[in-house]
Structures are given as structure tokens and as C-alpha cells.
């Protein structure tokens, strides 16, 4: 199982949100590159980066920071936040991203997600963020009319197999993740699931691994000391 420590960028700083609410942003560092290097030193091979400014605005205002991380570390970086066109996908891949995450775009412009996955095989994932089981978009500020589970089935049916699934209610709470939904998702043939949101213990990581989750994203639990990244990477 892959471990993706997370760096969320807002205004050029490393922050974490609670339940996707921008008003709860807590700053942990003013230097995302330094944080990424420390994660690499602690054994991380992968990194999950979200441009929170981009998620709201649909632009690439923090791309220069992300390019510094990809060029000055050995981490395999996946990038999400505001990626709503093929041009933006290409921008991040050219900046050194290993994988690009489509969120709002995959919901509102499904053919774009299908086209991107065909143009860049193995380098596109879809972020399925849910509130009360329904897919949320626009930086989690708007809720759609499709359930997360049904949307995952739709993605697999279109040949898009990599999904990053977040229960927004759990995100940033450090109170445990939604294990029930991951049990359902890992039962969908062909779907590769990355669990995100609320994972806060080694035991939870073991449960997710044993149920067949492909990867886990770790955020606030690392920043607040509930999980030690070196210990996590040594085991997983």
C-alpha cells in the first residue's frame, strides 16, 4: 500500500482545513518545499499536493511551488486542485508531476476526464470528494446530485480506474476515516482506491491495507503528531 503524505497549499503556505472549510485553515509552514524534503527524509516516496487556491479559482497560481518540489526532491508527486482543462493537465505534467487529479472537472465535464485518461494513461486520477455520500465540487463548496459510489462505478465503466475518495466530514478531524465506504469501493472490480480523510492510526492503516486499498493520504494526523511518518513508511 502506498503512503501519500499531503501538502495543501493556500496563499503559498502549507495549511490544513477541517471538513474542507477554508475558514478553518491552519498554517503549518511558510515553505512547502522544506516540508516536502522533510517528508522524503522520513521515508516517503510519494506526495499528495493540493492547490487550494486553484481548487477555488480554477487556475495554477501555485504551479511554481509545485515545480520546485518535483525538481528538488525525488518524490513522486500527484497534484490536484483547480485542474479543469487538458492544458492545465499538461502544465502540471510538464512541471514534473507524476500524476494529475481531476475533481470538479470530472464531475462537470466527464468527457474531459475520459479524454485525459486516454491521452495520459496511468497519469490521471479522479478525486471523488463526498458530503453525506454525495459528490462535492468547487473546493467542496458545492454538492452534486450523484453519489460517490455510483460515480466511482461510472468512472470504472469509462476506463478510469484510479480514484482518490474523501469523505469530507472526516477530513481534518483526526477522528478516524469512513472504513465502511472503502469496504464497498474495494469491491468494485477494476477500481484502485486511495483512501483520504481522517486516517489517524496505525491500526486503521492496517485495516485499509488488508481490505485492498491501493494507497492512503495522510494529512493533519501527521502535522499534529498522531502518526509518525517514518514509522508509517517503515511498516507500509
Orientation angle between helical segments 86-94 and 110-119, nearest 10 degrees: 40
Residue 202 has pLDDT above 90, yes or no: yes
Residue 140 has pLDDT above 70, yes or no: no
Total domain count for the chain? Answer: 1
Per-residue pLDDT band for 204 (boundaries 50, 70, 90) equals very high
Per-residue pLDDT band for 174 (boundaries 50, 70, 90) equals low
C-alpha span between 148 and 152 (Å, rounded): 6
User: Phi-psi category of 166—alpha, beta or left, where left has phi over 0 and alpha has psi -120 to 50?
Assistant: beta
DSSP string covering 18-44, please? ETTEEEEEEEEES-HHHHHHHHHHTT-
Per-residue pLDDT band for 141 (boundaries 50, 70, 90) equals low
Dump pLDDT digits (tens) for 58-95.
889 999 999 999 999 999 999 999 899 999 999 999 99
Q: For the domain that residue 59 is a member of, what is the CATH number? A: 3.20.20.70
3-state helix, strand, coil in the chain (%, to 5): 35, 30, 35
Dump pLDDT digits (tens) for 6-36.
999 999 999 998 877 889 999 999 999 999 9
Three-class SS state of 67: helix
Domain range for 230 is 2-235
Strands 134-137 and 142-147: antiparallel
CB under 8 Å, gap of 24 or more: what pairs does 226-231 form?
Answer: 226/174, 226/200, 226/201, 227/199, 227/200, 227/201, 227/202, 229/3, 229/5, 229/39, 229/42, 229/43, 229/44, 230/42, 230/43, 231/202
C-alpha cell at 48: 499528495
Per-residue pLDDT band for 143 (boundaries 50, 70, 90) equals confident
Per-residue pLDDT band for 125 (boundaries 50, 70, 90) equals very high
Active site residues: 8, 129
Residue 187 has pLDDT above 90, yes or no: yes
C-alpha cell at 53: 487556491
Mean pLDDT (the chain) is 93
Q: What percent of the chain has pLDDT over 90?
A: 78
Amino acid at each position: 500500500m502506498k503512503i501519500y503524505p499531503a501538502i495543501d497549499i493556500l496563499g503559498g503556505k502549507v495549511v490544513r482545513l477541517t471538513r474542507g472549510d477554508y475558514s478553518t485553515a491552519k498554517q503549518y509552514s511558510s515553505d512547502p518545499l522544506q516540508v516536502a524534503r522533510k517528508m522524503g527524509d522520513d521515508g516517503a516516496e510519494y506526495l499528495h499536493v493540493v492547490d487550494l487556491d486553484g481548487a477555488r479559482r480554477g487556475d495554477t497560481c501555485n504551479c511554481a511551488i509545485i515545480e520546485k518540489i518535483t525538481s528538488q526532491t525525488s518524490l513522486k508527486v500527484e497534484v490536484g486542485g483547480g485542474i479543469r482543462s487538458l492544458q492545465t493537465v499538461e502544465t502540471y505534467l510538464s512541471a514534473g508531476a507524476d500524476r494529475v487529479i481531476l475533481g470538479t472537472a470530472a464531475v462537470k465535464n466527464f468527457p474531459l476526464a475520459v479524454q485525459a485518461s486516454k491521452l495520459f494513461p496511468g497519469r490521471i486520477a479522479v478525486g471523488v470528494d463526498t458530503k453525506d455520500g454525495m459528490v462535492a465540487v468547487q473546493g467542496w463548496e458545492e454538492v452534486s446530485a450523484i453519489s460517490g459510489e455510483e460515480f466511482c462505478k461510472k468512472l470504472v465503466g469509462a476506463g478510469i480506474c484510479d480514484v482518490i475518495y474523501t469523505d469530507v466530514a472526516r477530513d481534518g478531524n483526526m477522528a478516524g476515516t469512513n472504513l465502511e465506504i472503502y469496504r464497498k469501493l474495494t469491491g468494485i472490480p477494476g477500481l484502485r482506491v486511495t483512501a483520504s480523510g481522517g486516517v489517524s492510526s496505525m491500526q486503521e492503516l492496517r485495516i485499509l491495507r488488508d481490505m485492498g486499498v491501493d494507497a492512503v493520504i495522510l494529512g493533519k494526523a501527521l502535522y499534529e503528531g498522531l502518526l509518525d511518518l517514518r514509522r508509517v513508511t517503515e511498516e507500509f
